[in-house]
Homo-oligomer: A and B are copies of this chain.
Amino acid sequence: MTFIYQRTVRFGDTDAAGVVYFANVLSICHEAYEAALINLGVDARSFFRGEELAVPIVHGEVDFHRPMRCGDQLHIRVLPVMTTASEFEIRYEVLIEGFDRPVSRALTRHVCIDVQTRKRILIPAMLKQWIEAEAVD
Contact = CB atoms under 8 A, between A and B. Distances in A.
Interface of A: 8, 10-12, 14-19, 21-24, 26-27, 30-31, 34-35, 38, 43-45, 48-50, 54, 56-64, 67, 69-72, 108
B48 A11 contact: yes
Contacts of A30: 10-12, 22-23
A128 to B, nearest CB: 21
A34 B70 CA distance: 10
Report the 5 A-B pairs with minimum CB-CB distance, sorted nearest first.
A44-B71, A61-B61, A14-B16, A23-B26, A45-B71
Contacts of A63: 58-59
A14 to B, nearest CB: 4
Given A11-B16, A15-B11, A64 B59 contact: yes
A16 B56 contact: no
Nearest to A26: B23
